[in-house]
Amino acid sequence: MTQFKDDEILRQKMQDIVEECMGESPSFCVATCPLHIDVKGYVGKIADGDFREALAIIRKDLPFPGTLGRICAHPCEEKCKQNEEGEPLAVQQLKRFAANYDSEFEWDISIEGNEKPQKVAIIGAGPAGAMAAYILRKKGYAVTIFERLPVVGGMMRVGIPAYRLPREVIDFEYSILPLMGVTIHLNTEIGKDIQFDDLLNDYDTVFIAAGAHKSIMLDVPGKELEGIEPGVDFLRNVSLGEAQKVGKKVVVIGGGNVAIDVARSAVRKGAEEVIMVCLEQKHEMPAHSWEVEEAEEEGIKIIDGYGIKQFLGEGKVEKIDLVKCVSLFDSEGSFNPKYSEEENLLLDTDMVILAIGQGVESNFLNGHSDILAPNGKIKVDPITLQTTNLKIFAGGDMVGRPLIAIEAVAHGKKAAISIDKYFKDEDLTIGREKEGTFETTLVREIKDEEKGTIRTKVKRIPIERRLTTFDEVEVGFTEKCAIHEATRCLQCECKLCMKECIMLNEFCEYPKQLMEQTLAACCIDPLIPYSCNMCNQCTINCPKEYKFSEIFAQMRKDLVKDGEGPLPQHKPIYMHQKLGFHPIFNIVKPDLKAGYTKRAFMPGCSLPSYSPKLVGEILRYLQKELPGTGAVLKCCGKPTKALGLEKEFRERYSMLEDAFKQLEVEEIIVACQSCYSMITNMSPHLKVRSLYEVLREIGIPEEAKGIGKGKVMALHDSCVTREADEIHDSVRFLMREMGYKIEELPHNRHNTRCCGFGGMVVPANPDLAKRVMNRRAAEAKSEHMVTYCAACRESMTLGGKKSLHLMDLMFDRDWEKIGVPGLQGPLNNWLNRYKSKKEIKQSHIF
């Protein structure tokens, strides 16, 4: 195999792609999701109506889709590209919709591999603990959960009201744990029913995920008055169905999601009036905006920008003295509210519920103060969640800042990965770079036609019912609504080259993968570089504008240098080039009639092989309108160059330059797009013009004007001259002059697609070339396809279209009578080349 390790320039180009290609860059939603659920994948399946497959995609990463589909704070939606121009995709609701198709009979409760001897104790059956239990049991470990509450779910169960998260949803989804073999001990408090040290002795590791079940209380005058209650206790009592008195006029202190839940629960428990008081301005409240909106719909009043000075009352709270908050943070950015004594409010109340924050209870860790922070939370390595006691791991609200539910679930996954590595005696830090939220390297522009879509609103139960029951407020999407919303997804990804290039799809999932494999092996299957059409469609679609054709071209040269290229199947091309430069098929002809030669017409290879008649007619017309036009019938050498035969190419191209020098011309008029590109690049001292530009300038034959009136022709642009606007414009001008209406293909001009002939792919990978031809031909709806490259005409004929050369329309006006030319075969092509030579030889005879 060819070794690329010595080609430093090539290796650097490949390395650039490895480092910057966005082919595997996740979409914005997936990168933002702490669990990296394949949002794009399952939303796409919903759009297709494949709801069970959508659910299967979710369950690969999340065994609790119905639960999180209701309570997830969906940070993914904030990063949704639709959010930049309007409203984000309703990702959470689509997840919930997919969960409607869940069935325990389809759950995979198997374990991976054999049962393992290690035992894991998990403290807390909340989202972090449940996720860790699921993953560790899946890996074959013996897992036991210890939960202080009489129910599973942790704070999801007793901190989130049933109107947001029905209890039957939690019970249903959590039931997978015992089915898998996870043991759950409810009503079991660590430090009381079981000592923590006993767990350490009886289990190989302990994961602490006990949650934040303690309310933070206010230290202000009157705090001891009856009727002032902690919000967490209030929600827990309501959730567990325990006796919970509610005053007539309830004031909830706090502006976060817990405060909202407390206030809305108080309404449902019969409070006549509920008021929320928060330090923040309304638009700055920590609570999600949609929850604030729902609270106000239910009649809850919000007094924003005020703090508590004191509680007043005789043994029982009767009034609250509020003071205006003028700032929340000090100059260093620390939370340090400042108040104005000049602005006070006095509120009547008979019940105050505090929801200003939550703390953790870590008394059960007496004797392990070395792993505790001053605030009672547990100190862990943020990458591994391991404490300084290597057997103890902790996550969720027990460590660091308060987490939203999906972050807690992600902590459970992180802990499970670490514990698995710990048992395997692996480095716990390796491979953890992209756990949790990260910024994707993806770049995605929103097209005009993608803007302005309207987010599908989820229906809610009537307000009257909401005020008196804990029935679920949001009823979720119908199938029709879910499909409609899912179709708004932009399916953000790069892979723009993959969407266009059939060749790349045959050999990789994205270019980075191919380049990585090639760099690692220092070699490549020769078929890969020889399968590139060199059309640059991948490059114009690539946001980074990587020039893959240049990389594959250099690979071909290296293959030739090492004796592995061209491929055996390229023998016909090699022979074609030998004959293409043979005197029997070449001619260099001055304009004998004019007696001088200023320019040369060069028809190329394909046009002479296709139609000697057209070659002669074009040359005679040029000599008539532009006296001093000679001709050069010779190949430009592109096939040789395309094979990677650089030395032979330069030798052959020098023969072409000799022909130009022989005629002493200053300008070359080319009919072949490859010749146009090659001579422009190789002979910058010459003026190179397309035949079609020249015909536009001098005018078409009188008898050709209006000849195609009323007829519609599909037009194929050559990929070689995709950047040549002057050629595109001239071709269209000529067709309109002849009266033809043009069917513009979806991919045209700069964005045209290859016909399949380029890069000498046909002999190397004929099946691939045929697929490229068929795809391009299928874009045309009209009966006839017009090209201005004879090789393209042949490709489109092979693709199943009735194809004509543009010059057929202008100079062979009997084509409709005799029919569209088909394929002529190699022998006839060479015979035509010889006849074209004769046409040029006799061109001065009119």
Domain with 197 in it: what CATH number? 3.50.50.60
Q: Which of 565, 585, 616 is the last residue of a domain?
A: 565
Q: What is the pLDDT of residues 205-262, one digit of tens each?
A: 999 999 999 999 999 999 999 999 999 999 999 999 988 899 999 999 999 999 999 9
Say how far apart CA 282 and CA 301 lie, in whole Å.
Answer: 11
Predicted pLDDT at 449: 85
The confidence score (pLDDT) of residue 501 equals: 96
**648 part of a folded domain:** yes
Could you tell me if 645 and 678 lie in one domain?
yes
What is the mean predicted confidence (pLDDT) over 587-609?
96
Instruction: Report residue 147 as tokens.
Output: 């939960």
Q: What is the CATH number of the domain that holds 790?
A: 3.40.50
Q: Kindly state whether residue 530 falls inside one of the protein's structural domains.
A: yes
Kindly tell me if the per-residue pLDDT of 264 is higher than 90.
yes
Chosen domain end from 565, 587, 621: 565
Across residues 412-424, what is the average pLDDT?
98
In this structure, the answer to whether residues 510 and 634 fall within a common structural domain is: no
User: Residue 72 in contact with residue 404, Cβ under 8 Å?
Assistant: yes
Is residue 256 in some structural domain?
yes
Same domain, 555 and 643: no
Query: 452 falls in which pLDDT band (50, 70, 90)?
Result: confident
- pLDDT value of position 728: 98
Same domain, 711 and 831: yes
Reported residue count of the chain is: 846
> 429 Cβ partners below 8 Å, 6+ apart?
383, 384
Structural domains in the chain (count): 6
| Mean pLDDT along residues 592-597 | 93
Model confidence over 267-312: pLDDT tens digits?
999 999 999 999 999 999 999 998 999 999 999 999 999 999 999 9
Residue 382 and residue 248 share a domain:
no
104 to each of 69, 95, 111, 502, how far by Cα in Å?
Answer: 17, 17, 16, 41
Instruction: Tell whether the model's pLDDT for residue 846 goes beyond 50.
Output: no
> pLDDT confidence of 188, banded at 50, 70, 90?
very high
The per-residue DSSP string of 657-714 comes to HHHHHHHT-SEEEES-HHHHHHHHHH-TTSEEEEHHHHHHHH---GGGTTTTTT-EEE
- Classify residue 474 by its DSSP letter: B
Residue 645 has pLDDT above 60, yes or no: yes
Quick one: average pLDDT of 114-124?
Answer: 97
Residues 6+ apart with CB under 8 A from 617: 807, 811, 812
pLDDT band at 844 (very low <50, low <70, confident <90, very high): low
231 assigned to some structural domain: yes
User: Are both 533 and 560 inside the same structural domain?
Assistant: yes
Residues 267 and 190 in one domain: no
On whether residue 438 sits in a domain, the answer given is no
Sign of the CA dihedral with 663 first, then 669, 672, and 676 last: positive
Residue ranges making up the domain that contains 384: 109-212+360-423
Task: Give the pLDDT of residue 119.
Answer: 98
- The proportion of the chain whose per-residue pLDDT surpasses 90, expressed as a percent, equals 90
Q: Are residues 763 and 821 in the same domain?
A: yes
Does 813 score more than 90 pLDDT?
no
Q: Is residue 428 domain-resident?
A: no
- Same structural domain, 264 and 333: yes
Which of 86-90, 553-557, 575-579, 740-744 comes out lowest in average pLDDT? 575-579
- The confidence band for 7, taking pLDDT boundaries of 50, 70 and 90, is confident
Give the predicted TM-score (pTM) of the model. Answer: 0.82
Q: Quote the pLDDT of residue 3.
A: 62
Question: Could you give the angle at which helices 548-561 and 8-20 cross, rounded to 10 degrees?
Answer: 150
- pLDDT tens across 425-443, in order? 999 999 999 999 999 999 9
| Ramachandran category for residue 637: left, alpha or beta (phi over 0 → left; psi -120 to 50 → alpha) | left
Q: What is the mean pLDDT of residues 112-138?
A: 97
Domain boundary among 304, 337, 356: 356
Domain membership of residue 1 (yes or no) is no
The whole-number pLDDT of residue 179 equals: 98
Q: Which residue has the higher pLDDT, 141 or 844?
A: 141
Verify that 402 and 462 share a domain, yes or no. Answer: no
The 8-class DSSP code of residue 448 comes to: G
Nearest to 564 by CA among 555, 551, 576, 573: 555
Query: What is the distance between the alpha carbons of residues 451 and 111, in angstroms, rounded to a whole number?
Result: 45
pLDDT attached to residue 346: 95
Q: What mean pLDDT comes out for the span 342-369? A: 93
Residues 338, 450, single domain; the answer is: no
Mean pLDDT of 178-198: 97
In a domain? residue 403? yes
Q: What is the pLDDT of residue 1?
A: 54
pLDDT band at 2 (very low <50, low <70, confident <90, very high): low
Mean predicted confidence (pLDDT) in 643-664: 96
Same domain, 224 and 352: yes
